[in-house]
């Protein structure tokens, strides 16, 4: 409740940290200039060149910190946990910035970029310590606490009070109840004056529309903020916002918990890394394609219609690892299916070519899907895309929630012993755990874990 105050505080911290990263950039440039024997801020052209990075580090630093959950610390705050989040974020910022500059072919001294990470991490941690100490003082706690009057039936108000979290209780100072069904509006106004109330909690459950309107008008006259409890307690997650639709206030519900800003960073990294990997791996891709053509008749690339975001179909591409008549032979192998559920899987599939078996063991057949990532149809990390026909055979509606994010080249299932998973329900459980716990750090860990799985051929 009252999360907009927390969001405002978080935005202020993000702005402050953005400024600290800019200071870190200027300090890093000065240290490099001093080490090179320059005097003051000379040469002028050099610093003008580095000033182009000011908006980049000022925005990227706080964005990555936010992706690591740094601005939502546990209670009580944990310094070591905050420090690790800062170090991870600054590492990601430095690596991401160096990769982006390499792709764009913009020349900056890498020592300056690395210094930005180190100095920025130090400054942000000092800001965190100072903020924690100031906000922990009794005076600050008193100023931040909201004086609240509860409007509605006593039973409904009592029920809502018991549902408050520890954080919510600490941010509220209870100033009493007002029931518009049995008390005159003058009593409500008197409560506002006596307790210097700055927030009213309006409980719509059991409150007449006309009475609620009178309370809202009185709050507008007094300049007091209002929190409206609708009584809708069945929403599965708290990702709800108030918006305008048809000239009225409506609730907007997002099924995914990830912040839109973090998803934008994920998309940008997908494009950048996919483009970089396609350039770096181009010789290997050509070599594999040639080997596929030489070792079995047919094209090197195999295309299949798969279910993408929200079930929208797209053509997924991969190196062909099976015979040309593989799809026609699948029905004859149905009795050998090892996966419980709508998915078809056979360990020693006779349709796989000898070279295709090697490609599959090391996940090399999936490399062309970097093009699908570059086209925006897939992500580097996400649930593996399934054929349309298998998606149509889903026997549980909850299984379709794995389609609420873009499919990926690799996923939690890929790095969790995929050969040991024989039930599609367990596969879905891992996908939903990825969706519910998603973060940029989780993507990074899955990408790192994918490397040994592919190199040593584990899981296939």
10-residue averages of pLDDT along the chain (460 residues): 64 90 88 60 58 85 87 67 88 87 80 88 91 64 71 86 76 85 89 85 83 87 82 60 66 69 87 93 94 91 90 92 82 76 79 90 92 93 90 80 88 74 81 87 90 74
My answer on whether 180 and 291 are in the same domain is no
- The answer to whether 346 touches 337, Cβ cutoff 8 Å, is yes
Beta-strand runs (E) in 294-440? 301-307, 313-319, 379-381, 408-410
My answer on whether 50 and 68 are in the same domain is yes
| Partners of 381 in beta bridges | 410
The last residue of a domain, from among 110, 138, 166: 138
My answer on whether 315 and 396 are in the same domain is yes
Burial of 380 (0-12, 13-18, 19+ CB in 10 A): buried
422 CB contacts (<8 Å, ≥6 apart)? 338, 339, 340
- The answer to whether 250 touches 243, Cβ cutoff 8 Å, is yes
Is residue 423 in a domain? yes
- The answer to whether 27 touches 56, Cβ cutoff 8 Å, is no
Is residue 254 in a domain? no
**Separation of alpha carbons 58 and 334, rounded Å:** 56
- Residue indicated by tokens 């580097």: 380
**Separation of alpha carbons 455 and 451, rounded Å:** 6
The last residue of a domain, from among 234, 269, 302: 234
Q: What angle do CA 71, 87, 268 make, to 5 degrees?
A: 70
Chain centroid to Cα 293, Å, comes to 40
Number of domains in the chain: 3
Q: What is the pLDDT of residue 3?
A: 56
My answer on whether 441 and 347 are in the same domain is yes
Q: What is the pLDDT of residue 107?
A: 79
Q: Does pTM surpass 0.85?
A: no
Which domain range does residue 65 map to?
A: 3-138
**Separation of alpha carbons 76 and 73, rounded Å:** 8
Is residue 255 in a domain? no
Is residue 63 in a domain? yes
Is residue 250 in a domain? no
Burial of 46 (0-12, 13-18, 19+ CB in 10 A): middle
Q: What is the pLDDT of residue 270?
A: 93
Nearest Cα residue to 154 out of 94, 206, 111, 197: 206
My answer on whether 370 and 290 are in the same domain is yes
My answer on whether 116 and 153 are in the same domain is no
| Partners of 240 in beta bridges | 253
My answer on whether 267 and 406 are in the same domain is yes
67 CB contacts (<8 Å, ≥6 apart)? 89, 262, 265, 439, 440, 441
Is residue 344 in a domain? yes
My answer on whether 129 and 219 are in the same domain is no
The total number of residues written for the chain in this structure: 460
My answer on whether 353 and 389 are in the same domain is yes
Nearest Cα residue to 415 out of 404, 430, 428: 430
My answer on whether 265 and 312 are in the same domain is yes
Q: What is the pLDDT of residue 140?
A: 46
Nearest Cα residue to 116 out of 15, 11, 45, 17: 17
Q: Angle 440-455/79-104 helices, nearest 10 degrees?
A: 70
My answer on whether 30 and 154 are in the same domain is no
Tokens encoding 148: 């609240």
- The answer to whether 398 touches 367, Cβ cutoff 8 Å, is no
My answer on whether 134 and 153 are in the same domain is no
């Amino acid at each position: 409740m009252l999360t907009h105050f927390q969001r405002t505080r978080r935005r202020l911290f993000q702005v402050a940290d953005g400024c600290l990263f800019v200071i870190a950039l200027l300090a890093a440039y000065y240290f490099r200039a001093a080490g090179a024997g320059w005097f003051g801020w000379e040469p002028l052209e050099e610093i003008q060149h580095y000033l182009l990075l000011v908006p980049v580090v000022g925005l990227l630093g706080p964005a990555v910190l936010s992706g690591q959950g740094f601005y939502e610390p546990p209670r009580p705050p944990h310094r070591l946990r905050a420090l690790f989040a800062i170090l991870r974020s600054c590492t990601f910022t430095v690596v991401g910035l160096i990769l982006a500059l390499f792709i764009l072919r913009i020349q900056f001294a890498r020592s300056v970029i690395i210094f930005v990470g180190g100095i920025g991490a130090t400054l942000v941690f000092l800001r965190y310590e100072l903020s924690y100490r100031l906000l922990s003082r009794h005076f600050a706690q008193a100023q931040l606490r909201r004086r609240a009057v509860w409007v509605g039936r006593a039973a409904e108000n009592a029920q809502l009070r018991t549902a408050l979290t520890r954080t919510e209780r600490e941010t509220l100072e209870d100033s009493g109840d007002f029931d518009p069904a049995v008390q005159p509006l003058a009593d409500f106004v008197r409560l506002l004056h006596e307790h210097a109330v700055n927030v009213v909690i309006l409980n719509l459950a059991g409150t007449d529309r006309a009475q609620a309107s009178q309370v809202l008008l009185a709050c507008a006259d007094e300049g007091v903020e209002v929190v409206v409890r609708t009584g809708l307690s069945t929403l599965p997650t708290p990702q709800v916002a108030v918006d305008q639709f048809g000239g009225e206030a409506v609730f907007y519900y997002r099924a995914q918990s990830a912040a839109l800003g973090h998803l934008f960073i994920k998309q940008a990294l997908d494009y950048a890394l996919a483009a970089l990997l396609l350039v770096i791996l181009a010789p290997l891709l050509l070599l594999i394609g040639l080997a596929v053509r030489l070792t079995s008749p047919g094209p090197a690339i195999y295309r299949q219609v798969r279910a993408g975001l929200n079930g929208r179909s797209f053509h997924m591409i991969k190196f062909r690892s099976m015979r040309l008549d593989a799809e026609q032979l699948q029905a004859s192998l149905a009795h050998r299916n090892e996966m419980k559920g709508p998915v078809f899987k056979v360990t020693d599939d006779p349709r796989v070519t000898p070279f295709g078996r090697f490609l599959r063991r090391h996940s090399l057949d999936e490399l062309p899907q970097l093009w699908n990532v570059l086209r925006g149809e897939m992500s580097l990390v996400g649930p593996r895309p399934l054929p349309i026909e298998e998606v149509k055979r889903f026997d549980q509606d909850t299984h379709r929630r794995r389609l609420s994010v873009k499919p990926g080249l690799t996923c939690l299932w890929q790095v969790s012993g995929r050969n040991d998973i024989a039930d599609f329900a367990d596969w879905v459980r891992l996908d939903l755990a990825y969706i519910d716990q998603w973060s940029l750090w989780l993507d990074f860990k899955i990408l790192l874990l994918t490397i040994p799985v592919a190199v040593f051929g584990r899981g296939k």
